[in-house]
Structure 1
Amino acid sequence: MLTNLEVNDFAIVSALNIEWHAGMTAITGETGAGKSIAIDALSLCLGERADPAAVRPSADKAQISAHFDISQLPIAQQFLSEHMLNNDDEDCILRRVISKTGRSKSYINGISVTASQLRELGQYLISIHGQHAHQLLLKPEHQLHLLDSYAGHTPLINAVRTQYIHFNKLQREHSELLKQQHAQAARQQLLEYQVAELNEFAIAQDEYEAIEVEHSKLSNSQTIIETCQRELQHLYERDEQTVLSQLQQSVQQFVDLTGYDQALEPIAQMLDEAAVQVEEACRELRSYSENIEQDPMRLQDVESRLSQAMDLSRKHHIKPQELYEFHQQLCDELQSISSDSARIDDLEIEIADSLHAYQVAARSLSDSRCKAAAKLNALISQSMYSLSMDNGRFSIELQQVPQQKPNSSGFDNIEFLVSTNPGQPLQPLGKVASGGELSRISLAIQVIIAQRVTTPTLIFDEVDVGISGPTASQVGKLLRQLGDSTQVICVTHLPQVACSGHQQQFVAKTVKNGQTFTSMEALEHSKRIAEIARLIGGNKISDTTKASAEELLLVQSA
């Protein structure tokens, strides 16, 4: 629960340090004194959006600190532990600093955090019910939220949301692939033609270079043969002196000379090796000449192949050497488009399965809502009776619409129906209830739902607008009863509600040296009587109003 709130340089507050206690705390004060300012400051401390205009005009920054006892709140302890924000004590300190420049800093137990982390932790600590809650009551999405809060079926809500997210993801993928498919239809047709043409040509990797080499050999085969035979004669085979015979003679001459000078021996060896190499080359050349063939038919085939390769390369604006890689790229692209088509078929099956899973989850959620609605109808109708709507009836109408487009909250349409007079049929809340009745119904719902949630601190900020007389007395008793099990903080202008508090805080506004200051004071008994008397009779407090205040305090706190 909330144990302390410290506010510095926030709006018209210079400095406030407020101790909070268990039970119900009523906050009262004159109109315009800033009764809700502590609630506004606390909202900032819980991660609400920071407004630099909230910084007191004479200050550079506003600072709010809230202390909580979380010894009985394991979910908050778990959050702190998971985020390594816990300390050795059983309390938790939230702090928010807002500068005039608009920048803000957030802290949990002295450790810097994001505002979203403050909000996440804050939902386990405090639930704030604002003065405009009765207006939200007319919105279907808020009605559904209230019903779900009462039912407490979070796992079912999460299951529907999970199935919806999965269904939506598949739908988006299917839509994108269909768009791509339509855009690629002409491209696919062209690819199919090009790939078929290249498949028919079926060029192999590095084939163009190989047939270029073969074409060169075949087209010059006559020259090769004649040259080989002529050079073989010159090197080795003719009767007169050949290159080999001349080398052999030179070898012999230098061998003879080594008898005069050994320095010539290496030259003789090199010439001898050269003669051996020439002789070996001649044997290879004879073998090559005997096996080389002229093949006009093969030459024709090769020339045709080269010509086709050149034609295809010009057609696709690439080099002939690049035909093989280009063919593979086109095949891959066509395969990708074909795979998209297959994926579309698979997706349609997956979407149907996902929709079925969503509908199963949504139906389970809807069944749970129906059960919770039946209980909530009876409780709210009973509460309406206690809030001076003796003939009031309340009903939650749920309509399952499985055929509507899936959404994250299921397929239920909801409407709050009410009847406030005998013989009057149930009709939509906004058409029947007056402003005061709407406020009472809203408060009844908030109190009932608050009893079902585990938030240790509930704040009601002027939720009793439009209520007076015996109804106000009953509202006060309801809030006090709630305060017996939960910390309740209520900003009110009604004496009946103020008297119901286990304790009371008074907000006052003063002006000093042209500056406005707001203060908050915990009222002891005599001052509390005086403040309740003011609420009853205005600024002129008489013995009669004091007596009435004392009597009212005795009745409401009984």
Structure 2
Amino acid sequence: MLVELSIKNFAIIDELIVSLNKGLTVLTGETGAGKSIIIDAIGLLVGGRGSTEFIRYGANRAEIEGLFSIEQDHPVIEKAKSLGIDVEEGMIIVRRDLTTHGKSICRLNGKLVTLGIIREIGQTLVDIHGQHEHQALLQQDRHIAFLDSFAKDALKSTKSEYQLLFKKFNNVKNQLEQMNKNEQELAHRTDLIQYQLNEIEKAKLRPHEDEDLLEEKLKLANNEKLYKALHASYNSLYGEGKGLDWIHNALSHAEEAVEIDPKLKKLVETVSSCYYLLEEASFSLSHQFEHLEFDPNRLEMIETRLNEISFLKKKYGTTVDEILEYAAKVEDELDTLVNKEDRIQSLQNELDALRLDLEVEANALSAIRKDKALQLSDLVHQQLQALYMEKTKFTVEMNKIPNGRFTEDGVDTAEFYISPNPGEPLKPLSKVASGGEISRIMLAMKTIFSTGQGVTSLIFDEVDTGVSGRVAQAIAEKIYQIASKSQVLCITHLPQVAAMADQHLYISKQQIEERTKTNVRQLTTEEKVHEVARMISGVEVTELTKEHANELLILADQIKTNT
């Protein structure tokens, strides 16, 4: 259940914190006070479409946060674990912020998540039923979705298999249509592919060739520098008039000097050692550059080849491997185009085989739907009896989509038919149902669906439109019946529904410094009598309307006790 709701800077709501209880919570108040805005905020919290228009004028962002209490076997637990989110004591905090830049920031127990995840989780937490669903009930093309929602467990496996086949079928069908395109267009495509393939094949590329050439180029470029440095060093030492020649002269003169002064012997030995060390070093330098691999012609060849590859990269890929992959791809396409007739026949055969498989799965879907349509009709009849429509006949008419056409959901159409009065033929719901009848039929379906949906909270936004009297009382009792199995939040204008509330919240607005602000407060018993009386009278609350309100509340308590 939704335990607490916090709203800040949303529409005309400045800041609001609402604590909610189990059972039936009713929201009432004057038109325009902000009742539906609170429901809009909850819808946005659980993944509804956002808009900067929701942000209160003058604010930078709107903030909505909800604390949900869930059972240990709720699907949210498993989803949260898969996201690495801890769920302690069965509590989930969902938060969504809307910024003036149009960004939507979502958090689940404090961890940032995507809007898609919030929407997926939200579907299991809250089910909002408003006037738009009334309109959906009047749209025949939406009836198949209502039926599938009722039969989702029975349909799940078969529908999954069908949709997998349908995806393959569409893929092959699109390929076949592509093959049957304009002949001239295909001829131009064939010529282009042939030219591209010839250009790539002429280059005779090898896998990773560009990488290998760059590595070799770097090595060769460094070898040239090394060769020049070693050669210059050797030339500086060895040769007539070079370093070693001068040091040899120095050694000769030093040896003459030591004959004159024996004390210079150690100095002469030092000069001698240096000479022979440098002579040995010059021989090593010569050996190094003579055995160094350096081929200026090879470097030039590499540069030319890399330029050729670079030209191809501009057209077919960023690496040699990508160019080769592109060549393989267009080669397959060329083969398909050249052998077009064979390929068309192959695709046609594949399409025919998939069509047969689709028909089998589609027929299986139809059989399940027909069976579930009968069950749904029976259950709707049972629910309508309690809503004073016991003589109304309701049925789900199943038909095939014309021209043997397949859709993502199968080959079926569904349409709800009713006969509100005995002796009248069944007619499409959209043609004969009044607003009050639509409200009751939708409530009947919601009662049926809520049993199997397992959502945490159900929200009814003015589902009692167009009803009054004993029908209003029946609707009130039906909503309370649903609330006994799941938390229900209900915006209503019916005193009968308000009287059944376990928690009654009054929504009002006030003007402070030329700004409108929405307030919510829980009514006391006495205040509840006054509010129900206001809903009865519509204008002025009198002692008589208070008595009627009190009677209505006493009757509601009796019904709740016996439920």
Name the TM-score, length of structure 2 as normaliser: 0.70
Mean CA deviation greater in 160-169 or 468-477: 160-169
- 8 A Cα contact 2:380 2:394, kept in partner: yes
Displacement after TM superposition at 1:334 (Å)? 6.5
Supply the distance in 1 between the matched residues of 2:335 and 2:513 (Cα, whole angstroms): 82
1:128-527 equivalent positions in 2, closer than 5 A: 128-152=128-152, 153-179=155-181, 183-184=185-186, 335-401=335-401, 403-527=403-527
1:397-429 deviation per Cα after TM superposition (whole angstroms, max 9, x unaligned): 001348522111111111111101121000111
Aligned to 2:116: 116
Query: How many angstroms apart in 1 are the aligned matches of 2:73 and 2:480?
Result: 22
1:534 aligned partner? 534
Deviations 1:186-220 (A, max 9, x none): 9989x99xxxxxxxxxxxx9xxxxxxxxxxxxxxx
1:551 has 2:551 as partner: yes
3-state DSSP of counterpart to 2:479: helix
Residue type of the alignment partner of 1:438: I
Q: Structure 1 residues 83 and 437 mapped into 2: Cα distance closer, same or farther (>3 Å)?
A: same
- The alignment status of 1:51 with 2:47, answered yes or no, reads no
SS state at 1:58 partner: coil
State the alpha-carbon separation in 2 of the partners of residues 187 and 388 from structure 1: 69
The aligned amino acid for 2:384 is: M
Q: Which moved more, 1:526-535 or 1:95-104?
A: 95-104
The residue type equivalent to 2:172 in the other structure is L
The SS at the match of 2:405 is coil
The letter of the residue matching 1:156 is: T
Question: In structure 2, what is the equivalent of residue 249 of structure 1?
Answer: none
Task: Measure how far apart 1:106 and its partner are.
Answer: 1.4
Q: Residues 333 and 428 of structure 1: is their aligned pair in 2 closer, same or farther, counting only changes over 3 Å? A: closer
Structure 1 letter corresponding to 2:478: L
- Quick one: which amino acid aligns to residue 168 of structure 2? H
How far does residue 496 in structure 1 lie from its aligned partner after superposition?
A: 0.6
Shift of 1:20: 1.5
**CA distance 1:19–1:188, shift in 2 (3 Å):** closer
Look up the equivalent residue of 1:164 and give its one-letter code.
F
Q: Deviations over 1:489-545 (max 9, x none)?
A: 111110111112222111111112211111111223222112111111234222222
Alpha-carbon separation, structure 2, partners of 1:352 and 1:28 = 60
Closer, same or farther in 2 for the Cα pair 1:340/1:4, shift >3 Å? farther
Counterpart of 1:452 in 2: which secondary structure?
A: helix
Partner residue in 2 for 1:83: 83
Which structure has the greater CA radius of gyration? 1
Gaps in structure 1 of 5+ consecutive residues: 193-204, 206-329
Query: Are the aligned partners of 2:29 and 2:507 in contact in 1 as well (CA < 8 Å)?
Result: yes
Q: For each residue in 1:96-148, what CA deviation from the matched residue of structure 2 results, as whole angstroms up to 9, or x when unmatched? A: 11122322211111122222221111111111111232211121232111111
Task: Find the aligned partners of 2:72 and 2:500 in 1 and give their Cα distance.
Answer: 25
Aligned-partner Cα distance in 2 for 1:331–1:524: 80
**d(CA) in 2 for partners of 1:500, 1:340:** 72
* 1:210-247: CA deviation from partner (whole Å, max 9, x where unpaired): xxxxxxxxxxxxxxxxxxxxxxxxxxxxxxxxxxxxxx
Contact 2:77/2:87 (CA < 8 Å) preserved in 1?
no
Q: Rate the CA distance shift 1:416–1:188 in 2: closer, same or farther, 3 A.
A: same
Distance 1:57 1:187 in 2: 57
1:155 is displaced (CA, Å) by 2.8
Question: 1:74, 1:449 → 2: CA distance?
Answer: 17
Deviation at 1:15, TM superposition (A): 1.1
Q: Cα distance 1:180–1:507, how it changes in 2: closer, same or farther (>3 A)?
A: same
Instruction: Structure 2: give runs of 5+ residues left out of the alignment.
Output: 195-203, 205-329
How far off its partner does 1:347 sit?
A: 1.7
Counterparts in 2 of 1:335 and 1:362: CA distance versus 1, 3 Å: closer
SS at match of 1:520: strand
What secondary structure does 1:489 align onto? strand
- Decide whether aligned partners of structure 1 residues 74 and 339 sit closer, same or farther in structure 2, where only a CA change above 3 A counts: farther
- The CA RMSD measured in Å over matched residues stands at 2.6
Contact 2:141 2:413 in 1 (8 A): no
1:459 & 1:47 partners in 2: Cα distance? 15
- Tell me, in whole angstroms, the C-alpha distance in 1 between the residues paired with 2:333 and 2:45: 56
Q: Secondary structure at the match of 1:425?
A: coil
**Cα 1:530/1:346, change in 2 over 3 Å:** same
Percent identity reads 35
- Greater displacement, 6-15 / 136-145: 136-145
Q: In structure 2, how many angstroms separate the alpha carbons of the residues matched to 1:495 and 1:182? A: 73
2:238 corresponds to which residue? none
Q: Which amino acid aligns with 2:167?
A: I
Q: CA-to-partner distance for each residue in 1:31-58, whole Å, 9 max, x for gaps? A: 1111112111111111222211211113
CA–CA distance in structure 1, aligned partners of residues 23 and 190 of structure 2? 74
Q: Which string of whole-angstrom CA distances, capped at 9 and with x for unpartnered residues, describes residues 149-173 of structure 1?
A: 1112333332222221121111112
Contact 2:476 2:496 in 1 (8 A): yes
| Residue deviations 1:385-405 (CA, integer Å, cap 9, x gap) | 332234211111001348522
| Distance (Å, rounded) in 2 between the aligned partners of 1:496 and 1:159 | 47
Q: Provide closer, same or farther for how the CA distance between residues 121 and 336 of structure 1 changes in structure 2, counting only shifts above 3 A.
A: same
**Structure 1 length normalisation: TM-score?**
0.71
In the TM superposition, what is the alpha-carbon distance from 1:442 to its structure 2 partner? 2.2
Residues 473 and 556, structure 1, Cα contact 8 Å, conserved in 2: no
Deviation at 1:8, TM superposition (A): 0.7
Deviation of the 1:479 alpha carbon: 0.8
* Bigger mean CA deviation after superposition, 388-397 or 459-468: 388-397
Q: For 1:406, what is the secondary structure of its paired residue? A: coil
The farther-off stretch of 424-433 and 535-544 is 535-544
Number of equivalences: 422
